[in-house]
Structure formats: C-alpha cells, structure tokens
Chains A and B, each alone.
Chain A
Amino acid sequence: GQQVMQIPQYQHVQEGEDFTTYCNSSTTLSNIQWYKQRPGGHPVFLIQLVKSGEVKKQKRLTFQFGEAKKNSSLHITATQTTDVGTYFCAGDKGGGKLIFGQGTELSVKP
C-alpha cells in the first residue's frame, strides 16, 4: 500500500539553530498537509501544498512540495522553544484520505 516516510524521527537542536524534516511518498500525491502536535496534545493543521514545486512561508517556517509531488520538506529558521513538538506530513492521494508520516519529534534546548 501507499507509504509516506518521514525523516528524521528525532531532532534535538539548540535554540536559534535551524531544523528541517523531510517527507517522501511512494506514489504521487494530490496534495500534502503538515500538522504540528504538542506533547500530550492533538494534531493542529499548519499548511496544505497542492501545486508541483510549490513553496509557502509562514514566518520562520518554509514548506516545499517537490516537482514530482512525491516529496516535501518543512524548514524552521532559528528555532525557538515554542517550536517544540512533533511535526507530521500527511499525503493525500485524493478523496481526503490522509496517509501520515511517522513524524519528526523536535526538541529545542534553550
């Protein structure tokens, strides 16, 4: 079946360092969504990318969707302690059924 792989599983950074998580799908995606889950919380939507090669920015967060619509990345510039949590990508083949990656758990040392 379709798989969405996400790396790394864990990332520990010093506050102020950059962070990137990568997402790869075994099949072409209709769109890809990114979610953030704080410890003990529920996933919260960050963004959706639809177009091939699309790049979107939200303050210090930059999201990219690959040209083949099979991979994506999330880059955080100058991490802050408020960025702590697990970041999930979720691929949509169409029809709204999301396949979630395993997530990247980010910890930030002040």
Chain B
Amino acid sequence: NAGVTQTPKFRILKIGQSMTLQCAQDMNHNYMYWYRQDPGMGLKLIYYSVGAGITDKGEVPNGYNVSRSTTEDFPLRLELAAPSQTSVYFCASSYSTGVSDEQYFGPGTRLTVT
C-alpha cells in the first residue's frame, strides 16, 4: 500500500492564481481530512469528508474548496491565492471514528504564495 499520497511536494504561486492540491489514499478509508500547518504551530482542519459525496467545513475553510467524488481522492482547491495561504498542507485519512481513530498523514505540500 502507498498509504496517503500528495502532489505536488512544493509549489510557488503568485497572488491571485489558483491551484489544486491532490490527495489520494489506497486504504479504503471513509474519512479524509485537509489540514494546514503554519511555522511553529499545530495543524488546523480546513475541510473533511466522511465519505464520497459528503464534505464539511473545519476550523479554517475560507479561501478553499473541496470535493469527494470517490473514496480514494480528496482534492483541495485554492482560488485566488493570498500570502496568508502560505503554509504546509497535509492530507490525512482514517477508517472511521470509533475505538481506534488513527489518522494517516500524507507527506505534505509546501506552498508559498508571493
């Protein structure tokens, strides 16, 4: 199993540009998440999904959009990039909430907006 994969690893955007961060998992997990991590800070939840076709906002959803058309993929869309969106973005997945809700994280995408 590849686990959780993210592309690209690095990206530099100009202010106002748009891009899609890709995330895929091959563990048949129903839950998927997008987090952002700013320097020296913890992770903040942007959006999450409990299954294909279902998404919901996290703590910091403004400026982002998601879709979940399949169990495997959960892309994150940035429209009109702003310097405040400079961060490291992590995608994660988990099987379900219950006794063991371990989240598996991808390697991250380091995004700079200038």
- Which positions in A face B, CB cutoff 8 Å? 1, 4, 6, 9, 31, 33, 41-45, 48, 50, 88, 90, 92, 94-103
Q: A48-B102, A96-B97 are in contact. Are A42 and B48 (CB under 8 A)?
A: no
Chain B 19-60: CB-based contact to A (< 8 A → 1; otherwise 0) = 000000000000101010000111111001010000000110
Question: A41-B107, A92-B97 known; 13 other A-B pairs, CB under 8 Å?
Answer: A9-B40, A43-B90, A43-B105, A45-B104, A48-B101, A90-B42, A90-B43, A92-B101, A95-B97, A96-B31, A96-B101, A101-B42, A103-B41
**A97-B42 in contact (CB<8A):** no
Contact of A100 among B43, B50, B99 (CB under 8 A): B43
- Judged by a CB distance under 8 angstroms, whether B103 is at the interface is yes
Contact of B103 among A50, A94, A98 (CB under 8 A): A98
- Which positions in B face A, CB cutoff 8 Å? 31, 33, 35, 40-45, 48, 50, 58-59, 90, 92, 94, 96-97, 99-108
B96 to chain A, nearest CB (A): 8
Expressed in whole angstroms, the Cα–Cα distance for A109 and B91 within the complex equals 32
